[in-house]
């Protein structure tokens, strides 16, 4: 099964979904529990949302509007791949190498900016590497990788995820960690935390699936939501939380998911 999604980017991947379809059941992610057994160990999907901002303009003290991010509902499946980061010292834990790719139809969000945010999240002291089981390192386009983090248009999200094609959530499918650009730009309603927090959440959630983790539920009203809870679809009494570790301890909840409805699929966002 294998999927090397990057290979897909040559343009042929839209023609390949056949193989992927066969795997659908295995990888269906955070999609709605309609079909699902609540938490296959390898499932995953979330949502995201946000926008990068780059100040510009001569007046230093004036507020700076972020550049608009625009995208079509269905992109062409062509990718800009970020450069790698310098190798770090070897440490404990299994090394997983990841690429970061942004669909070329997404305007106003340079791949370097998205990659920096992904890497900041994955390198955070409260991130997945905190327990010492894994090391995560971003590699460049021509280096071997264990998985790829894609920022994709809603339509391409469906193609890559090969699950219920909702055009709304993000997902993890094999070695593809797929972030829906609409969630990255807009977040989700009533999340109760900033877009920056939601973005970190969605990265950690989908990468958590790639590490073999399934969905979890809210452990108690007023407590932080586990990062493997489907926070995109509802907090169920928990508060928003983006990180797998809190105060140095792994924060989790009981296994399982909720039958939350998924909002309508996303359209494009004109520039
Ligand atoms: Zn999920």
User: Which residue ranges make up each domain of the chain?
Assistant: 15-51+68-210
The dihedral of CA 159, 137, 211, 205: what is its sign?
negative
How far does residue 66's CA lie from ligand 1's centre (Å)? 29
Listed in order, strand segments (DSSP E) in the chain are: 79-81, 94-103, 134-138, 147-152, 171-173, 176-180, 245-246, 249-250
How far does residue 214's CA lie from ligand 1's centre (Å)? 7
How far does residue 227's CA lie from ligand 1's centre (Å)? 9
Helix (H, G, I), strand (E, B) or coil at 149: strand
Helix (H, G, I), strand (E, B) or coil at 199: helix
How far does residue 71's CA lie from ligand 1's centre (Å)? 24
How far does residue 42's CA lie from ligand 1's centre (Å)? 9
| The predicted structure's pLDDT at residue 62 | 57
Alpha carbon distance 10, 77 (integer Å): 9
How far does residue 46's CA lie from ligand 1's centre (Å)? 5
Best CA proximity match to 100, nearest among 90, 113, 89: 113
CA atoms lying within 13 Å on the CB side of residue 242? 23
| Environment class of 28 (CB within 10 Å of its CB; exposed 0-12, middle 13-18, buried 19+) | buried
Q: Locate 11 and state its tokens.
A: 């343009």
Alpha carbon distance 210, 171 (integer Å): 10
Alpha carbon distance 67, 107 (integer Å): 9
DSSP 127: S
Given a cut of 70, the residues of the chain with pLDDT beneath it are 1-64, 66-67
| The predicted structure's pLDDT at residue 87 | 80
Give 235-266 pLDDT, tens digit per residue.
999 999 999 999 999 999 999 999 999 999 99
| The predicted structure's pLDDT at residue 91 | 78
| The predicted structure's pLDDT at residue 61 | 52
Q: What's the pTM?
A: 0.79
Alpha carbon distance 202, 190 (integer Å): 15
Helix (H, G, I), strand (E, B) or coil at 18: helix
């Amino acid at each position: 099964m294998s999927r090397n999604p990057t290979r897909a980017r040559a343009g042929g991947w839209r023609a390949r979904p056949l193989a992927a379809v066969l795997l659908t059941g295995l990888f269906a992610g955070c999609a709605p529990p309609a079909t699902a057994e609540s938490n296959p160990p390898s499932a995953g999907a979330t949502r995201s949302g946000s926008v990068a901002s780059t100040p510009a303009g001569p007046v230093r003290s004036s507020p700076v509007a972020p550049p608009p991010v625009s995208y079509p509902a269905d992109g062409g499946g062509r990718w800009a791949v970020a450069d790698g980061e310098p190798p770090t010292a070897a440490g404990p834990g299994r090394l997983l190498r990841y690429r970061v790719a942004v669909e070329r139809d997404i305007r106003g969000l340079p791949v370097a900016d998205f990659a920096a945010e992904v890497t900041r999240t994955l390198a955070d002291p409260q991130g997945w590497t905190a327990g010492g089981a894994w090391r995560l390192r971003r590699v460049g386009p021509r280096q071997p990788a264990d998985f790829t983090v894609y920022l994709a248009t809603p339509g391409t999200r469906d193609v890559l995820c090969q699950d219920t094609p909702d055009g709304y959530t993000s997902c993890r499918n094999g070695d593809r960690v797929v972030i829906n650009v609409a969630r990255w730009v807009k977040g989700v309603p009533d999340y109760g935390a900033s877009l920056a927090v939601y973005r970190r959440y969605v990265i950690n959630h989908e990468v958590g699936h790639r590490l073999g983790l399934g969905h979890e539920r809210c452990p108690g009203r007023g407590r932080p939501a586990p990062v493997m809870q489907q926070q995109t679809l509802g907090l169920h009494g928990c508060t928003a939380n983006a990180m797998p570790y809190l105060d140095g301890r792994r924060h989790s909840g009981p296994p399982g998911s909720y039958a939350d409805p998924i909002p309508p699929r996303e359209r494009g966002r004109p520039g």
